[in-house]
Structure formats: structure tokens, C-alpha cells
Amino acid sequence: MFVKQSVPTPVRKPFSGPRRNTSFHADKVEKKEFGPAKNPLRIMVLGGLEEVGRNMTVVEYNKEIIIIDMGLQFPEEDMPGIDYIIPDITYLKDKKDWIKGVIITHGHYDHIGGIPHIMNEIGNPGMFMGKMTAGLVRKRQQEYKSAPVLKIKEIDEMTTLKLGSSFNIEFLRVNHSIPDCFAVVIKTDIGTVVHTGDFKIDFSPVNDKPADLNRIAQLGAQGVLMLMADSTDATHPGYQLSESVIGEEIGKLIEKIDGRVIIGTFASQLSRVQKIFDLAERHGRRVSLQGRSMNDNVTIAHEIGYLKFNPRLLVEDKDLNRLPDNKVLIIGSGAQGESKAFLTRVVNHEHRTVALKQGDTVLFSSSVIPGNERSIQNLMDMIVRQGAKVINYRMLDIHAGGHAKQEDLKLAMRLFKPEYYMPIEANHYMLQANADLAEAVGIPRDKIFVADNGQVVSINRADNGKVVAALTKEKVPTEYIMVDGLGVGDVSEIVLRDRRMMAEDGMIVIIATIDSKTGSIIGNPDIISRGFVYMKENRDLIEKTRMKVKKIVKDKNPMTAADDDYIKNKIRNDIGQFLFNATKRRPMVLPVVIKV
Ligand SMILES: [Zn+2]
């Protein structure tokens, strides 16, 4: 059993001068004599190649596996009632004892959200992540009573790990919109693979260390076999803005506002939140935090020192409305128009303390996630109708994304100098845009792999010692695993189809009481309609349906008196067809047969 294995302890080395890794020089590796590798090094991205979300990558070598990230994806509009989607781990189910560790690049939900649902399924192996990430993962795990206690080791850019006998792991500090983000360097005797996680390069980040370009260049000089890099902003030209520039822009805005300032952002955008705290202090405003995730994240980050502010800046709800308007700054979630989030509750008059009024300014400080455009427009309409002003990032450049744009990606490619390149973490067209960039900096097209979820990359050492990578046609399972409330994977495509049907055309329940001896119907069948037709206005249709049900029961085969399944199916099919002919709608027909 894997659980008995002890978790390797990260080795910390004192930092002295330019960092050189003493244990694993690529040149040292090259000097060794290698025969053909017995097994190829295999890379499988289980999620994150056909979507933004549910990131999870498996690296396998000599019957050992390491996993990078375990994220969730928010559902599409045609998946009613689904909370989120997590990666399919079918491939790992019979390989629990191969798994030597799980590495998490940073604390965003599309990289940590699957953890409470997956870790038990794969034998709860040791986990490695930065301090901020660990805080968020532990907090989330507490919300799942049946989830196991995780074996987390905190890492930083000084950590080197040996996982199993095949993998030597190092971490590179990169920037993003949350502190403590790491790219993962995986060294094996067949070559070095680098996985960037989400990243941008920021020379003046807020409350975080800048990406370590020096070390990236060193690694490049030692030889990187494959670079797997973030494609989220690969379609955007230019360089990503520094987080501190954004902060200054927000500062200029706040300076001019006399009324209350309400800022809608992501709870996970902690670098932004830090800057807002600094500005509040500078402009003499007290800060009100709204929304549970915002409060949780700020508390965790403050406790471990990743957010720095004077706790006296915070104002509780009960005191909020006693402050003069020009002393108030409210930070809340819901800038994407999410239905239960702070901003939506405010405009719907469902918030206990905050109601909008003349003089308020609402600042949208987060990019629009594709698909949310309409709900955000509705939200802005409602805010303006209630007398407040709206400023969004498109009107004034108060937004910087957390992801490398085209020039940043090219810089990373130039420094890492990978032999092979694999775009990851986005929809297919963005992966393709990233691949085009790689070609533009001189990586040959046949060494750039634009893969689908589950498609296996195989890296082999040929007889002459040359290492060759290939994108194979082999695919491991990557179904959508849907999480619905606390249930995992118990919502199938059939359940979804039913929900869609009910949402679109409603449902109709037909209750027939049948004499169990004779099989004849007793009285009139009851008919209940929800979301299909208004019964009072459609008496005629309902009456015809009733007659039809009576006829179905009456016409039944006399040999099958007790077979209510037959009657149910017949009602479902015939009444479904009848209602479709009459209304051109397909409500869900739910027959209930009661035998007395
Ligand atoms: Zn992220």
C-alpha cells in the first residue's frame, strides 16, 4: 500500500551566490553511459488543454508518476445544477503505488479545486506546494468532512526534492495574480522537463518576489528537453503590465472619488487586494471585506504574512454605515456577475449592510471571463440604475492579467531554450497561438506539440543515445467528472439531459391508479404540470392527455396486468409524442403508477 510510504522531506540548501544546483548538472548526466531507456518518459495532460480550467498533468517514468496540479473547471451554461468539473483519474486508479508525489504550482481553483475529491482516490500521496498555496488548500480541505488529512510539505525556490528514484524536482519562482507561484523543473536521466504553471514575468510585483530570470537562463544553458508553458494570454500581443502599475492606476482613480469606493475583484487576486489596502491607508479610507471567500483568503494571507496591512483599517459591517462616505472602501467578489456573490446581492437588495446610493463608484477590477459578458452587463446596468457610477477596466486601464503575453512567452522561450515545446492551460486556439510564437522564435514545428487532453507525449532514448520526443495517438481517459453539491461523478450525461429538458420544456407528472387484480384504471388520472403549460389555460389539452392515458391503460395486453413498467413506458412514449404533436415541446413525462 502506498499510504505506508513515507513522504520525502524537502532538502533546503543555504543560498550562496548565484544558484548552482550541485546535485544534478545536466553535463554530469550527459557524461554517463546510457543504453536505450527501458521505458519512455510519458507526459499526459488530463485537463487544461481544451479549456481554461481543471488543470492536471501526469508525468510517468519507469513505473513512477508525479502529478502537477489538480484543478476544477466551472461548468458550461448547458450543464444546469453542476457546481464544477474535475479531471478524470481513471488512468491512475490501478497505479496508486506508482504515484510519488503531487506538486501544486499555485493556489487558484483551476489548479487546486480537485484536491478534496481526488486525493483519496489515488491513495493520498505526499503533496508539495508554496506556503500561500498550502494555506488555501488546507482551508478548502476543511470544508470537506470526508476528505483525508493531506500530507503537505511547503516548498520554495530553494527546495530540491527527489521523488521516487526517477524524478529530481526543483522550483522556479514566477509571477501571477497570487503570491507564491512556482514553475516545476523535473529532471530525469532522459532529460529536463519544465512546467510553468500559470505565469507572467513581473519585475516589480506586489508583495511577491520577481520571477528569477537568472536561474531560468541557467537552466536553459544546462539544457531543457521540453518546456510546457501557459497559453492563457498567448493571443495577446505585447508585454503584460506589472501589478504595481495597475495599483498606481487604481490609486489615481480613488484620489478623485468623494463618495464610497466599491471594488469588485476576484478573491484570489491577492496581489490586487494588497495594493488596494495600501491605497486605502494612503487615502484615509477604512476597508470593508465582503464575501466569504474574500474574507477567508485575506485572513489566511494575512496570517502567513503574504498580505501586510494594519488590522485597524478593517471595518466591521455594523460600523460601516456610520463612517462618512469618503472614508469607505469596500472590496467584494462578484465582478463576473456570479449569482451568489457580493455585488449581485447588493444590486438585488439582498445584502444586510450595503445598498447602493448616489455618489457611490463601483470599480470592476478583473478581466471578463469569456461567457460572463451578459451577466456582467446586466450587473452594470443595475448598478447605474441605482444611482452609482461604474468604472471598468476597459474604460481605464486598471486591469493587468496574471498571464504571460506574446512577448513574455517569447522571452521565456529564449531563456529556457527548450528542444521541444508544448503549449498548455487554455482552449485549443490559444494553444495554437502559443505554438505559432514558438515557431516564430525558431523552434521547429515538428518539435512543438499541440495536444488534446489525455494525448500521450512519449520521450525515448534511441540506441544511439539521442533523445526523441513524439506526440503519440494514444489517449488516456479524460471524461468530464461532474461535481454536483457533494456528489462526485454521480451526475451522468443522462441526468444532465433530463435537467436540460426540464429547464427548456418543463415537466408533466401523470399519476394513474390501477386495480392490481384487474389492471383497470380507477378514477381519472391526475396530471401535474411544471414549467410546461399553464393548466388552467390548457384544460382542453390536459383533458385530452387524460383520455389518452386511460386508453393506454385500457389497451394494455391482458397478460401483463401487473406489469406497471410496461404501462409507465407506454405513457412516457405515447404521451410524450402526443404532447409534442400538440405543442411542439418536449416536456419530461414522469408517469407514476399506483396499484391498489
Ligand atoms: Zn492561476
pLDDT digits (tens, 9 = 90+) for 92-106: 999 999 999 999 999
Predicted confidence at residue 489, as pLDDT, reads 63
pLDDT at 21 over 50: no
pLDDT at 219 over 90: yes
**Cβ–Cβ under 8 Å, residues 83 and 483:** yes
The average pLDDT across 144-159 equals 94
Residue 177 CA to ligand 1 centre (angstroms): 7
Predicted confidence at residue 3, as pLDDT, reads 37
Predicted confidence at residue 14, as pLDDT, reads 42
Q: How far is CA 558 from CA 404, 519, 561, in A?
A: 72, 8, 6
More confident residue, 28 or 439: 439
Task: Indicate the range of 54-68, 180-194, 254-268 predicted with least confidence.
Answer: 254-268
Residue 545 CA to ligand 1 centre (angstroms): 54
Residues comprising the chain, all counted = 596
Predicted confidence at residue 25, as pLDDT, reads 44
pLDDT at 534 over 90: no
pLDDT tens string 351-372: 989 999 999 999 987 666 666 7
Dihedral, 469, 471, 475, 477 alpha carbons, nearest 10: 80
Reported as a pLDDT band with limits 50, 70 and 90, residue 464 is confident
Residue 176 CA to ligand 1 centre (angstroms): 7
The average pLDDT across 417-428 equals 96
Q: In what order do the strands lie in the sheet with 224-230?
A: 11-12, 159-163, 167-174, 181-188, 191-195, 224-230, 418-424
Residue 243 CA to ligand 1 centre (angstroms): 14
Residue 392, C-alpha cell as written in the block? 471598468
The span from the CA of 500 to the CA of 496, in Å, is 6
Predicted confidence at residue 493, as pLDDT, reads 67
pLDDT at 167 over 80: yes
Mean pLDDT, the chain, whole residue set? 86
**Cβ–Cβ under 8 Å, residues 230 and 406:** no
**∠167-208-52 over CA atoms, to 5°?**
65
Predicted confidence at residue 529, as pLDDT, reads 83
Residues near 539 by beta carbon (within 8 Å), at least 6 away in sequence: none
The average pLDDT across 256-276 equals 88
Predicted confidence at residue 519, as pLDDT, reads 75
pLDDT at 166 over 90: yes
pLDDT tens string 544-590: 999 988 888 877 655 555 567 778 888 888 888 898 888 888 888 88
Predicted confidence at residue 326, as pLDDT, reads 95
Tally the C-alpha atoms within 13 A of residue 84's C-alpha that lie toward its C-beta.
20
Predicted confidence at residue 29, as pLDDT, reads 42
Predicted confidence at residue 557, as pLDDT, reads 57
The average pLDDT across 440-456 equals 97
Cβ-defined contacts of 455-458 (< 8 Å, 24+): 455/44, 455/45, 455/49, 456/42, 456/43, 456/44, 457/42, 457/43, 457/44, 457/226, 457/422, 458/40, 458/41, 458/42
pLDDT tens string 269-321: 888 899 899 999 999 999 999 988 889 889 999 998 889 999 999 999 999 99
Reported as a pLDDT band with limits 50, 70 and 90, residue 4 is very low
**Cβ–Cβ under 8 Å, residues 59 and 186:** yes
Predicted confidence at residue 27, as pLDDT, reads 42
Residue 401 CA to ligand 1 centre (angstroms): 10
**∠291-266-84 over CA atoms, to 5°?**
85
Ion ligand 1 — residues with CB < 5 Å: 108, 198
Q: What is the CA radius of gyration of the chain?
A: 29
Predicted confidence at residue 559, as pLDDT, reads 54
Percent of the chain with pLDDT over 70: 87
Reported as a pLDDT band with limits 50, 70 and 90, residue 398 is very low
The span from the CA of 332 to the CA of 291, in Å, is 6
Predicted confidence at residue 277, as pLDDT, reads 94
Predicted confidence at residue 337, as pLDDT, reads 72
The average pLDDT across 316-343 equals 88
Residue 359 CA to ligand 1 centre (angstroms): 34
Q: How far is CA 411 from CA 171, 196, 408, in A?
A: 19, 13, 5
Would you name the residues annotated as active-site residues? 230, 403
Predicted confidence at residue 79, as pLDDT, reads 65
